[in-house]
Structures are given as C-alpha cells and as structure tokens.
Structure 1
C-alpha cells in the first residue's frame, strides 16, 4: 500500500471517528442510530473507523453518511482526495498525531498483520481509552510515612 493510500485511510478514519463522536455528543445518537439515519450499515461504519477497506468507499455511502449527519460531503471527498479543491485535512489546526499512535494505525490497516494481533491492539486501546483517569497524586498514597 502506498503512503498516500495509507494516509487517506488514516485521515478518513479520523474524519469518521470525529463525526460519530460529534453525533454522540450533540445528538446522543448511538452507532445504531447513526446507521439508521444515514443508511450506512454498522459494519461499514466500523470498517471506516478502523481504516480497513480494500477499495475506496462508495461515493453514495459517503454522501448518505455526511448528509445524515448534516456534514458537507465535499469535506469527506477532500479527506479521501477525491476533490482537488478541498484541503486533505478538515482540521488544519489539529495537533500532530503521536508517532506511536500512527504506528498502531499502520499496523491495524496492514494486511500482513494477523487478525489476532489487530484484535489485541484494539482491545488494549479500548482499555486505555476508557479506563478511569487517575488523580495526579494517586501514585504517592502508598509512599506516605505513617
């Protein structure tokens, strides 16, 4: 896979994740609700989020997804590199992605990485993403003199 194709997958996956997060935050929609309102299956949405698609998403599905969420399809087309007049990244002020995160994303879309390894990567990420945030002084409690 070329670096350009890989970059498009990562950018589109980030675009879809942000759109889904916005739908959850502003409308309290679940993934099933987004699927119902956009006409894009949950399986397709999950593949887009993971960047696991062998060929480009169908334009009709991208348009349906965007219109169902009130997003201009030209933004998604720009992310996918389909519209030369639109910048490739919809959020130019976003901080650069951590190199370790980029490496994990590359492994998740690499066809040479086993499904078992991809599963373990996803499970670890989910664990880290949703674990409770520890207070800054939590690690010092056991070291206090008493």
Structure 2
C-alpha cells in the first residue's frame, strides 16, 4: 500500500471541514539545504492542489527531502477573547494537525507529538504553554483513515 500523499491529506481535510475553515502551512526542505514555506487559506486554497502535486513529484524525484504540513482547522462557532493591540478581540478556536512527507513514508504525528512540537520555542527549545482555544488532533489517525479507504 502506498503512503498517503500531501494531496490526499489536504483533500481529506477539504472534504471533512471545507476550505473556509482551513489554514494549511507547508515547509519544503530542498535537498540543497534551502527551505520554502507556503501557506494556503480561503483566499488562495485553489492554488494548493497543483502546488502539492508539484511538491509530491519533487519528493519522488529526490529534489525535495521532505514536506512538512501543519493543518489548522478553525471553529468559528467557538471563540475565545484575547487582548490585542486594539483591546479585546474574539478569535476562533482551532484544532492543529501535523504531518511529514518523506520520499519513502508519510508520518502523521499523534496528539502528544503535535502538542510538543507546537509548544516548543524554536529558538530556545523551551516549552511554552498551550494557547487558549487550541486543541491538537492526531495526524496518525488521519493517515490511518486515509490508508483504510
């Protein structure tokens, strides 16, 4: 059985949640050491499928070492209030899933791994508290569900 591709994972979320609730960020690690970050939301999500197909082809050809994907699913019916530069503002709650696609395998991170990665300061390695209104989902469960189809 073939590992799920970046497109099949994105298609899963589009089908389950719809484009208006998604914000997907991808980090492409090129073999030559360069990285590229691309983000897709409701304003440009139509560009995501062809972009992901291109990255999948680059994974298979070996010009890309890996593609990491963070999927944020926003729940606009449930909000939390935060204090920003302009005072109190209501922001939607969200659920976060994380994946890594390598040439040989697809990894969906479980809830504990996703929480740890999301709550670790990239510069210092220090743990940070979970943001209010954030839940973590299991990418491993998503991969299992896609693979079972």
Q: TM-score, normalised by structure 2?
A: 0.29
| Greater helix content | 1
Larger radius of gyration: 1
Structure with the higher fraction of residues in strand conformation: 2
| TM superposition score normalised by structure 1 | 0.30
